[in-house]
Structure formats: structure tokens, C-alpha cells
Amino acid sequence: MATMPTLQPGDGSNHQNNNMKTNELTRLAMLLAIAPLVPIASAAEEPATKPAAAKTSIEKNTIASTIHDSATFSILNKALVATGLDVTLGSKGAFTVFAPTDEAFEKLPEGTLDTLMLPENKEKLRSLLMYHVVPGTFLAADLKDGEVKTSNGEKVEIDLKSDTVQIEDSMVSKADVSVSNGVIHTVDKVMVPESLDGFADLDED
């Protein structure tokens, strides 16, 4: 009777086991090599699809935030935003603003404000608004008779009465609203710099 051979170390079974182990190790190595590429690709795509968070530059208790929060200055606030001056007046600094009320803006000739608010007239509107801003902080008690240079480079005339303050032909109806970056004086008429005389019917009434 023939005897079945006994498998010894080094026979075909060991070669088969070794081949299986080698194949498994090779597959594992390939998976490990590929796996890190997935999150890297996703991370690279994320900035392109994720919008940047909007940042606000308007600080609290500033001229811009006070005007924004007041129902009296809704038109002035809209004009400041349109020209970007809200950012200037909403940050650190020292400014005195003679702020026209909504009623003051409504005294302008019909259609004038709409014309000023057009994108192509942004610089003219900016010049008009800066004519109402004086660098530095000046309470009513600090004001003196005479001319003072405004932020648009042109000068305004201040006339002090016994109980009133007049700037050009506009009267200060409420003075000394102090904020972190200056002071606000409410005025009853929009002042027009000489550089804008005649534009969109300004100062022709």
C-alpha cells in the first residue's frame, strides 16, 4: 500500500501561504497610500466653495452707528452707506458732523437727491456729505465766529448768536450729541459747497 507523502516545511503549501500574505500586504500598502489623498483634495476644494465671512467695520457708539440707529437721519444714513463714509465715521477718529435731518434733505429741489444717489454721482454726493464734516471734536461751546475748513477742503462760515448757532444758512437745532469718535450737531438744511453750485438744481432756489 502506497504511503501519502507528508508535507514538510518548504513544500508548496508554504509558498501558497506566503503568496497570500504578500498579496494582502501589497493591497494594504496601496490603500494606505491612496487614503490620504481624499481629505487633501476635499480641503483644497473647500475655500473655493465656502464664502468668506462678512466683516463689519462700524463700531458701536460712533457717529455712523448713532446716525444709523436714529429715525431722524434715515436719508443721511443711506447716503453715508452709498459713499462708504459710514465706515470712516464708524471707526476711530475725531470728527464733528453737522447732520442734516430727513426733513432737511426733503427741502432739496425735487429729484435732486435721486440724482445725487446715482452711482455715477457718487463722488459728488461724497463731496456734499464731507462738506458737513469738520476734522476734530468741537462742542457748541468750542465753536467760534468765522470760517472753518471742512473735510472736502472747502470752508463753511459759522455765525454764533446769543442762543443759536448758524453754519452757512443752516441752523443747529440740536447740539452736542457726543459719541466715541466725535460729536454730532443736527442741522435743519443741507449745506451745498461752491463746487456743487448748480449741479442737479442744488442751491438755485
- What single letter denotes the amino acid at residue 119? P
**DSSP code, position 193:** -
Cβ-based neighbours of 123, under 8 Å, separated by 6 or more:
none
Q: Which domains does the chain have, with CATH numbers?
A: 63-193 (2.30.180.10)
pLDDT value of position 18: 52
What are the tens digits of pLDDT across the range 113-159? 999 999 999 999 999 999 999 999 999 999 999 999 999 999 999 99
What are the tens digits of pLDDT across the range 165-201? 999 999 999 999 999 999 999 999 999 999 998 888 8
Q: For residues 44 and 187, which has the higher predicted lDDT (pLDDT)? A: 187
Residue 204 pLDDT greater than 70, yes or no: no
Least confident stretch, 41-55, 98-112, 113-127: 41-55
pLDDT value of position 115: 95
Structure confidence at residue 162 as a pLDDT band (50, 70, 90)? confident
Measured between alpha carbons, how far is 85 from 159 in angstroms, rounded to an integer?
A: 27
Q: In sequence order, what E strands does the chain have?
A: 95-100, 133-135, 146-149, 155-160, 165-167, 170-179, 182-187
pLDDT value of position 57: 79
CA dist 97 to 118, 121, 150, 200, Å? 23, 22, 10, 24
Q: State the distance between the two ends of the chain, measured CA to CA, in whole angstroms.
A: 133
CA dist 90 to 68, 75, 101, 181, 187, Å? 10, 17, 18, 8, 20
**DSSP code, position 201:** G
Triad 25, 26, 27: Cα angle to 5°: 90
CA dist 186 to 37, 48, 173, 189, Å? 63, 47, 6, 9
pLDDT value of position 106: 95
What are the tens digits of pLDDT across the range 54-81? 445 789 999 999 999 999 999 999 999 9
Measured between alpha carbons, how far is 188 from 61 in angstroms, rounded to an integer?
A: 23
pLDDT value of position 36: 46
Strand order in the sheet with 170-179: 133-135, 95-100, 182-187, 170-179, 165-167, 155-160, 146-149
CA dist 150 to 26, 154, 158, Å? 78, 6, 12
pLDDT value of position 47: 46
